[in-house]
Amino acid sequence: MITSQSISLKQKTQKPILIESNQQSINMVTNTITFIGQVNINYDYLNINADIVTINYAQKEKNKCKIIEGYGKPATFKQSSQNKNKLIYGKSLKICYKTSSNTLTLTGNAHIKLLNSEIKGNKINYVINKNYIEASNKPGKQVLTTLVIYT
């Protein structure tokens, strides 16, 4: 188990990222950490599981985490709200988390589920702090949305 407490996701926070994997490598020239095999990342209310994860960080900015990319068949994420009454699940072939915009981008067989509603497409952008989701699909294909509305 590897704990990367020196990498912060947001500039103003000092919360640790807990990362478990079968192996890791660090490239100090490119400021990239690669985790391979049963990778599990926990940060605050966000959990990402993938086969391979790379983290790019800015060493000059006190090791600020810039991008987390996860790859799997599928890679998955789970995000709970602060009061933990809503869970959002997602899966795709690639998950990219950009810390500057607090955005998750799911690419390749992308799927997000909130409660009983879901969205499927080739690419889904989820802006976490704005609760905003945008989906698109390959040319000639449509995005599939299933909404469950309670009356």
Q: What confidence score (pLDDT) does residue 59 get?
A: 66
> Are the CB atoms for 111 and 126 separated by under 8 Å?
no
> Are the CB atoms for 15 and 7 separated by under 8 Å?
no
Phi/psi of residue 94, nearest 5 degrees: -140, 135
Write down the mean pLDDT value for the chain.
86
CA distance 58 to 62: 7
Sign of the Cα torsion 75, 104, 66, 48 reads negative
CA distance 115 to 140: 29
Residue entry with tokens 């997000």: 112
Q: How confident is the model at residue 3 (pLDDT cuts 50, 70, 90)?
A: very low
In this structure, which CATH number among 3.90.1150.10, 3.40.50.10490, 1.20.1250.20, 2.60.450.10 belongs to the domain 2-146? 2.60.450.10
Residue 139, preceding bond cis, omega within 30 degrees? no
Q: What confidence score (pLDDT) does residue 107 get?
A: 97
- Domain residue ranges in the chain: 2-146
Q: What confidence score (pLDDT) does residue 61 get?
A: 63
Sign of the Cα torsion 9, 14, 20, 24 reads positive
User: In this structure, which amino acid lies at residue 71?
Assistant: Y
Q: What confidence score (pLDDT) does residue 9 get?
A: 43
Q: What confidence score (pLDDT) does residue 148 get?
A: 86
Report whether pLDDT(60) > 70.
Answer: no
Q: What confidence score (pLDDT) does residue 51 get?
A: 98
